Structure 1
Amino acid sequence: MSQRVFVPEPVTTRPRQPYVRVRDLERDLAERVDGEVRFDPGTRGAYSTDGSNYRQVPLGVVVPRTVDAAVEAVAVCRRHGAPVTSRGGGTSLAGQTCNTAVVIDWSAHCDRLVSVDVAARTCVVEPGIVLDVLNRRLAETGLMFGPRPSTHSQCTLGGMIGNNSCGSTAQAYGKTADNVSRLEILTYDGLRMWVGPTTEEEYAEILAEGGPRARIYRELRLIADDHAGAIRDRFPDIPRRVSGYNLDQLVPGGPFDLARALVGSEGTLVVVLRAELHLVPSPAAESLVLLGYHDIAAAADAVPRIARHRPLQLEGVDDRLVGFERAKGMHPDALKRLPEGGGWLMVSFGGDSQREADERARTLTDDLRRTEHAPHIAFFDDEQIEKHLWEVRESGLGATARVPGLPETWEGWEDSAVPPDRLGDYLRDLRALLREFGYGQASLYGHFGQGCVHTRIPFDLVTADGVAAYLAFLDRAADLVVSYGGSLSGEHGDGQARGGLLPKMFGPDVIKAFEQVKAVFDPDDRMNPGKVVAPYGMAENLRLGPAWTPGSPSTHFGYPEDDGSFQRAVMRCVGVGQCRRHTGGVMCPSYRATRDEEHSTRGRARLLFEMLGGHSDSPIGDGWRSTAVRDALDLCLACKGCKHDCPMQVDMATYKSEFLSHHYAHRLRPAAHYSMGWLPLWARLAALAPGTVDALAHAPGLSAALKRLGGIDPARSLPYFAATRFTDWYRARGPRGDGRRGPVVLWPDTFTNNLSPRVGRAAVEVLEEAGYRVIIPPGTLCCGLTWISTGQPGMAKRVLSRTLRTLGPVLRRGIPIVGLEPSCTAVFRDDAPNLFPRDKDVARLSEQTRTLAELLSDTDGWRPPRIDRAAVSQPHCHHHAVLGYDTDRELLSRAGVRLDAVGGCCGLAGDFGFTAGHHDVSMACAEQELLPAVRAAGPGTLVLADGFSCRTQIEQSGVGRRALHLAEVLAAARRGDDIGAFPEDQAGRRNDRAGRRDGQGDGRRNGRRPGREKR
């Protein structure tokens, strides 16, 4: 029997936050905390929102280097009375990780796997470790952390603990709370302790010790005892109850597990410093069954029968989601594999062998074939196919946001959960409610095996009537889910989005218990205030809202896919955070190098949003002249990886060019904009006396002076200009071959023409052998790339207009344009239509431009020469993002090449890696994937790179290898020449002219995070 003691008054309303002397707070944090203390406008703007509908500008951000540094940061905040919000990946959808507080970002440094106990199947982690990173580090043990949200590549364990995250594999392994053994926590008043399940003996020992720890345990037990009946009555017994505090872990007769009780408290009670996690064996093999039903509700009706087979995952996808993905061109090959139906279930099984997994899947399909409404069935046990099919489901958020031809969709009611055996009826009623409010086009999908439903709804969040309808819908939807015995949140938590609805679900007695628990840990409401308990109103702090009045500036680019609006383009970012992944794809190389939110695609999009105004408290108040936005965009490599890898196709390279054009309008630009931005002009002039130019550019002393004058990093070697340009060689040579397949225009881009003419000569050889008559444009033309990348789109338009006048006749005859340099080819395919959205010749240019691999692969009867070699390939970022590299993969495979295509960015990225001050970040990007792969390549392994930047980065990195263009490889193989790896004694060759390297850096980082210093 608990001794009756005084319990603090519950936190029922938000206490008035004290006045904080922000400058004094910043000074003290900087003096006392081992970490990055950032109160600048750029950082505050980047952290002003998460993945939700809400926005609150923080006081500042602390990025601690150690857990102890974070403890000290909280101590400083306590002395100043400043509120604190913990943040991991910042992907929360209910507003948990944005607040007018000091934000502690754990993800940059506090990401250690502290220890692993394989026998006990446990590990200890710091809160900033990303789930996929943790499971990669655990791989050799055969163990993994079980719950796997769709954001597994970027969500942190601290964030998962804060939200009690689940994901698809919670079907087999449970929620995060079910997989936490112990937590090391810190209260706002400074108490630091480990908590977990507590026996009666341990409880008595804690009380006997006395002090703050004993007070907390004693008062929590009293609260749990007093409200035990209401807790048992009002907590729904379903797999996905995530709303509220986990007081069911404290009631009499239970484990009194304080660790599990704190999971899902969203940083409103304590700071989590470390966590001891339960681990599970990784399945040795998996199989996947797709089941097609008449509609999504009928699919949900089948869930209880399927769940009896104990699958690893049991997910639902409706026809609207599939239709949205088709409309956006997402996962076309995977969607073709779906069986017939209007609603689908995706069911996976694990096993110790592929045979075991397959047998479990076939047992299910045999069972379902005996049912009255047997589904259409497709079965897969190929790992790659399964991966692509799961991407259909994991892309749900990106697929349902910004659907062409439909209104914007938003979160707000995106993760309700009901008993799985009532899911079908709930979906029917929910869909009827959506239709009643005019939201009928919303898709329904989610973790159906546990009754959790995801959706994005076309709320109007910018007018008073729209916001009123939003609130009315939430009120009705909450009543609906409670009537089914469900939970307002089945995965994403309450935060601000659902905090105000909790009384409907739990009733006044349990709500009072929540308030009392808050008072035990945080009586002054300094821990993430306004979330869960005494929450802000659901219409407060909206990122948009009726008072939002953003600017609509005139622009150089047309943004045809965003209704011609730069503001609408910027708002493509929905905060899902895929730009914060550590591996896979290209996006976002500068974030991977710096681990800095401000240098992620998402962070930059947030700053551009703030720059456009609409909120009186925006930290970015100087519009296009903003130095904060300039500094954030300075480390954008303009790789366009986000245009492909981001589910919303955010095109930060274009936004950067747009911003720079306005930022430097009628002002002096950085020297690099004149030197490298105008490279085509300087290359044309250098062609008059290339030997003299090269001698001067590489002369000791003079070379360094030229770099300083041109804003070029001293660690970089200047490229050599060719003795004979490609176009001069070809015009002297003339066309050859029978030309039986007709003409093609071989585009002589600046880099091929002036710096790598050997690539152009090889391409001519290959094309003529394939039966084409090669023609090149008259004069010296340009695509305008260097002006675009340095924010001079006005000049780029003039250059492109001249090119279009010259190419117009061949474009109207339908003659293909073959590009060799991926970045220039991508201009024709992507940037030009954005600059000239209504020009018919530009549309023809985009449609008729081909890569070499695309043209050859479409040539009937053409076969690649046999190469039969291993190769490491660095696909150029624009090749990956705009052109697509699959055709190159297939062509090389047909030639017998065993290809290892490297992910990530080379880091040079045109002018970026040459620009003064960028060298550290450039090399850090290269060290992510490219350079380790090249170093590991055997002496007989080819190194392939179509991009001039990629080849230059490899040659200037000191790895002793020279990369080849696809055209060179095909031409050498056709001739029967030796195309083995180039030894180190040839690595110093530069662009068809031997020359000594000068001032080359070794690419090693200097111990600090690159990119942190403001420019």
Structure 2
Amino acid sequence: MPEGRVTDLELAAPGVAGDRLVADLRARVDGDVRVDATARGAYSTDGSNYRQVPLAVVVPRSVDDGAEALAVCREHDVPVLSRGGGTSLGGQATNAAVVIDWTAHCHRLVSVDPQARTCVVEPGIVLDDLNAQLAAYGLQFGPRPATHSHCTLGGMIGNNSCGSTAQRYGKTVDNVRRLEIATYGGLRCWAGPTSDDELDRITAGAGEHAQLHRGLRHLRDTYAERVRDRYPAIPRRVSGYNLDALLPEQGFDLARLLVGSEGTLATVLHAELDLVPTLPCTSMLVLGFDDIIAAADAVPAVLDGCPDTPLQVEALDHRLVEIMEHLGSHLDSIRSLPEGRAWLMVEFGAGTADECDAHARALLDALGRGPDDGDVALTDDPAREARMMAAREAGLGVTARAPLMHDTWEGWEDSAVPPQRLGDYLRALRALFAEFGLGQPSLYGHFGHGCVHTRIPFRLERAGGVADFRRFLERAADLVVSFGGSLSGEHGDGQARGELLERMFGPGLVTAFGELKALFDPGNRMNPGKVAAPYRVDENLRLGAGWRPTPYATGFGYPDDGGSFTSAVLRCVGVGACRRSSPQGGVMCPSYQVTRAEEHSTRGRARLLFEMLQGHADSTVTDGFRSGAVHDALDLCLACKGCKSDCPVGVDMATYKAEFLSQHYRHRVRPAAHYSMGWLPVWARLARLAPRVADAALHAPVLAGIGKRLAGIAPERVAPHFAGQTLQEWWATRDRPAADPDDPRTVVLWPDTFTNHVDPHVGRAAVEVLEAAGFTVHVPAGPLCCGLTWISTGQLGVAKRVLRRTVAALRPWIEAGTLVVGLEPSCTAVFRSDAPELLPGDTDVARLAGRFATLAEALVAHAPHDWTPPRLDRSAIVQTHCHQHAVTGSEPDTELMRRAGIDAERLDSGCCGLAGNFGFEAGHYAVSMACAEQALLPAVRDADPETLVLADGFSCRTQIAHGVPGRRAIHLAEALRAPGRADLSSTATTDPTKE
């Protein structure tokens, strides 16, 4: 059977052939209809503990096409799951159903009414994208979950999302005016508040619309008093259906009833939303406490002491800060915290900075504290506020891999109680942790609303651990109810809490939930098994006692994952930060930003690697490292390493891709590009035998075209010119004293392949700068390489041999502790990151990693104190290489440019799109250039001709040259070499390689 074909049995559609369903979907729906292993594996789970393989995936090109897909599924009687960003923590976004993914195309802001402060949106629009478009009107959507960069409005409506700003603006349900819905039965209508007269008119009619409203009115009349009695009057009751929206005092609001129903009642096609004005000024007050319980105890006083409703009252504890320190994550954020071992972060918003500060100072007065106290920090700097909040928003990700603990999991991650009882609830919850031997998980969250976030080290891979997981959830549910709280204060019920709802609402209201479900979906086809008639909390687990992954011998050592590739793959917990629609704010995941396809996100690729482990009987990938599905998903991974730093749990897909390619092509013929680009260092050295002939062959029109086809190179690409003289050859001609490894002023300048053979002028400039700074420079001779091109093409055996040969050649310098300076960021990243992971037991590799520095690091941290760089007094735009962003950081470069008088604008442009061999390989050109066109190339085109274009990466400079002919990007070494030189001009026509 062809891979990915869905059989009749797999579709489990009674009396209907699976092939006919797929054929009808493809005939009637404009969009992608996929039943292949890649799609089904990528959508098999969400951000929860649960996994269910979908029957098919439909990506409609319009809202009408999505509605048509639902109609086809109805005709074939198969279940349907509407999916947004897929970050649900309760299992709402995974099911054995036809998944309709609205995010790729159905993401329009349809209309805005600035006077009424409303807008209409499609379900796939991302919150940050919506607010960016609303900014021109001075408006925004109020609730702001931590996933605001990638969560969709459809998903927020499905889960009744809240976020930190719900403190002021309420939950999603409080900000939805009307919904256009489609039911499984075929009804398509707008839903919202209904007056008594209108309700009488509707129920007097015929058809599904009237029948539905008659049933809803009967449900309201039957259960109204129980709803009033059992629904907790707290700000964060998200569990259960919103039956309270049907009460007369709530206006019989069908839209609010459907918010939080998790796609189990109807599908949202459009939403009319209430908006709030953007606030021109904010201020952040951070209060330190001895521990997180003391912070919780202080919440009532904080709320009473606020003269105006704050935007947010957030909390984080010392455990979360310790984890971030261990991971080296958000260090700027946590260093700005005041004294304490727990913190409340209170943000105020107003029309002026003075008003904001006045609110904060009034609160301090009420608490008997002052702005100069050691346990108080007050700022109205938006950048600092954003850094502080970034640490809090990263909580879910960083606590997933807490040091000195087993992996942590959701399941009880967002319970909520009345804020006045929060401290006592946390004491009882900690006692429950201790009873179950769960240690002290981090506690943080939206304390102003009594909502607590945590991840718990359940042992979900063991039968005993799964049993304990179930017992803990039952006990925790009873505990939170005893405090008048809600099982869920933000993330909804799904499968994680659906079975526990009777403990919160009682059997009568759970019966009402079933009756409501039957009114909308009598056949139980809309996201079945969630909220109503739910699966057990210990069913469909992503791990579970029956999970038996295939062990693999690997090329990388995975030292941060216990030496286990399986453990490395499990890093992905589905947060979805890789699904940002633009590069602003980071690097990952450039191919997803272009294609908007789930399997091209870091998360989607990690999901397929998880399926490849074959831990379940129904794994979608059954051929391990030979899988074509996994290969295709990884093919558009740029190996930019952006996820290594940007992913909250540190997924390193570049490493996983290299591992996969190594195993996939073991004892097999590789693609031509692996032999051409992968062995580039060898071809560059061979070209030295006849450099002019080699260079002419690479650029002769006919010959070059034939060569590119044979080498697997994109025909649109122009090969780089080999230099007439390499850096090493130039160095050998210099009259210089021999460098002494024991001299602390000595540095080794690393002659990477690109600098040595293509851009030796960069190396010569670096020599001049280093010597001017007081260093004695040594450039090693011989065929040296970091092995990068072999790593990126998965030729790990060769890479290890190359690295061992390099380490042997550098051993005298390694033993002396000499600083080695790298000019090419990707090669520097190899020595700092990849090499120790490839050769984890090699002490010389570890020593070299600790002494391998960028040019800026060498000049800022190791140059004599009396050295100052030459002044340029020039403006510049700076493209940070993605490997530098991910591994070495750019702070030293920023400081060096400041000292040199460079007014630098660091572009928020993500990866340049070339990414080493990726953009040169045949079939990648369109994606490569689309990545560059998102931000980098437009910024270069718009830059003033006198503005320097700085890019240390060879790939970045090459991409700029290809995309903006006539503009030349230069290395920082060139800028510092000699201010005022003509060749600094970004429009210089001279070829530096001919110097």
Distance 2:374 2:855 in 1: 45
What is the TM-score of this pair, normalised by structure 1? 0.94
Letter aligned with residue 391 of structure 2: V
What is the 5 A alignment of 1:326-725?
Answer: 326-369=325-368, 376-582=375-581, 583-725=584-726
Asked if 1:960 is matched to 2:966, the reply is yes
Deviations 1:150-182 (A, max 9, x none): 000010000000000000000000000000000
Give the aligned partner of residue 981 of structure 2.
977
Cα drift, residue 214 of structure 1: 1.1
Give the aligned partner of residue 202 of structure 1.
198
Give the aligned partner of residue 809 of structure 1.
812
Distance 2:696 2:511 in 1: 81
Give the aligned partner of residue 899 of structure 1.
904
Distance 2:352 2:654 in 1: 46
Distance 1:546 1:58 in 2: 22
Distance 1:210 1:351 in 2: 51
1:757 is aligned, of 750, 757, 760, to 760
Give the aligned partner of residue 8 of structure 2.
none
**8 Å Cα contact 2:755-2:824 kept in structure 1:** yes
SS across alignment from 1:62:
strand
Distance 1:276 1:616 in 2: 43
**8 Å Cα contact 1:934-1:959 kept in structure 2:** no
Distance 2:783 2:312 in 1: 59
Asked if 1:835 is matched to 2:838, the reply is yes
Distance 1:836 1:138 in 2: 51
RMSD: 1.6
Give the aligned partner of residue 1008 of structure 1.
none
Deviations 1:247-300 (A, max 9, x none): 001023331000011000000000000100000011111111111112211111
Distance 1:19 1:432 in 2: 53
**8 Å Cα contact 1:941-1:980 kept in structure 2:** no
Deviations 1:471-523 (A, max 9, x none): 00001000000001110000000000000000010111111111111001100
Give the aligned partner of residue 4 of structure 2.
none
1:158 is aligned, of 154, 177, 201, to 154
Letter aligned with residue 402 of structure 1: R
SS across alignment from 1:807:
helix
Cα drift, residue 399 of structure 1: 1.9
Give the aligned partner of residue 825 of structure 2.
822
Give the aligned partner of residue 44 of structure 2.
48
Letter aligned with residue 786 of structure 1: T
Give the aligned partner of residue 950 of structure 1.
956
Asked if 1:190 is matched to 2:186, the reply is yes
What is the 5 A alignment of 1:236-275?
Answer: 236-275=232-271
SS across alignment from 2:871:
coil
Distance 1:337 1:19 in 2: 63
Counterparts in 2 of 1:292 and 1:17: CA distance versus 1, 3 Å: farther
Give the aligned partner of residue 794 of structure 1.
797
Letter aligned with residue 682 of structure 2: L
**8 Å Cα contact 2:569-2:609 kept in structure 1:** yes
Distance 2:26 2:369 in 1: 68
Cα drift, residue 378 of structure 1: 1.4
**8 Å Cα contact 1:877-1:905 kept in structure 2:** yes
Deviations 1:877-917 (A, max 9, x none): 00110110111111112222221212310000010000000
Distance 1:800 1:328 in 2: 27
Distance 1:485 1:574 in 2: 31
**8 Å Cα contact 2:739-2:777 kept in structure 1:** no
Distance 1:773 1:485 in 2: 71
Letter aligned with residue 831 of structure 2: F
What is the TM-score of this pair, normalised by structure 2? 0.96
Asked if 1:72 is matched to 2:76, the reply is no
Letter aligned with residue 185 of structure 1: I
Counterparts in 2 of 1:159 and 1:868: CA distance versus 1, 3 Å: same
2:96 is aligned, of 93, 100, 120, to 100
Letter aligned with residue 621 of structure 1: T
What is the 5 A alignment of 1:829-868?
Answer: 829-858=832-861, 859=863, 860-868=865-873
SS across alignment from 1:302:
helix
Segments ≥4 residues shifted beyond 3 Å: 15-20, 734-741, 978-981
Cα drift, residue 140 of structure 1: 1.2
Higher deviation after alignment, 204-213 or 937-946? 204-213
**8 Å Cα contact 1:908-1:949 kept in structure 2:** yes
**8 Å Cα contact 1:720-1:993 kept in structure 2:** no
Asked if 1:884 is matched to 2:889, the reply is yes
Cα drift, residue 306 of structure 1: 1.4
Give the aligned partner of residue 7 of structure 2.
none
Distance 1:669 1:993 in 2: 35
Give the aligned partner of residue 935 of structure 1.
941
Cα drift, residue 759 of structure 1: 0.3
Distance 1:789 1:20 in 2: 46
Identity level (%): 64
**8 Å Cα contact 1:228-1:252 kept in structure 2:** no
Distance 1:639 1:226 in 2: 59
Distance 2:340 2:971 in 1: 45
SS across alignment from 2:724:
coil
Counterparts in 2 of 1:503 and 1:685: CA distance versus 1, 3 Å: same
Higher deviation after alignment, 777-786 or 46-55? 777-786
Give the aligned partner of residue 10 of structure 1.
none
Distance 2:235 2:804 in 1: 61
**8 Å Cα contact 1:500-1:538 kept in structure 2:** yes
Distance 2:724 2:599 in 1: 43
Counterparts in 2 of 1:284 and 1:959: CA distance versus 1, 3 Å: farther
Distance 2:735 2:713 in 1: 38
Deviations 1:124-154 (A, max 9, x none): 0001010011001111111100000000001
Higher deviation after alignment, 662-671 or 882-891? 882-891
Cα drift, residue 337 of structure 1: 2.2
Cα drift, residue 22 of structure 1: 2.5
For structure 2, list consecutive stretches of 5 or more residues without a partner in the other structure: 1-10
Cα drift, residue 239 of structure 1: 0.3
Counterparts in 2 of 1:532 and 1:808: CA distance versus 1, 3 Å: same
SS across alignment from 2:398:
helix
Give the aligned partner of residue 3 of structure 2.
none
Distance 1:550 1:522 in 2: 37
Cα drift, residue 442 of structure 1: 0.8
Give the aligned partner of residue 744 of structure 1.
747
Deviations 1:984-1012 (A, max 9, x none): x72xx666159xxxxxxxxxxxxxxxxxx
For structure 1, list consecutive stretches of 5 or more residues without a partner in the other structure: 1-14, 995-1015
**8 Å Cα contact 1:439-1:458 kept in structure 2:** yes
Deviations 1:314-333 (A, max 9, x none): 01111211121122112222
Counterparts in 2 of 1:453 and 1:359: CA distance versus 1, 3 Å: same
Deviations 1:162-204 (A, max 9, x none): 0000000000000000000000000011111011111122222
Higher deviation after alignment, 773-782 or 236-245? 773-782
Aligned length: 973
1:875 is aligned, of 866, 872, 880, to 880
**8 Å Cα contact 1:182-1:275 kept in structure 2:** yes
**8 Å Cα contact 2:37-2:620 kept in structure 1:** yes
Cα drift, residue 120 of structure 1: 0.3
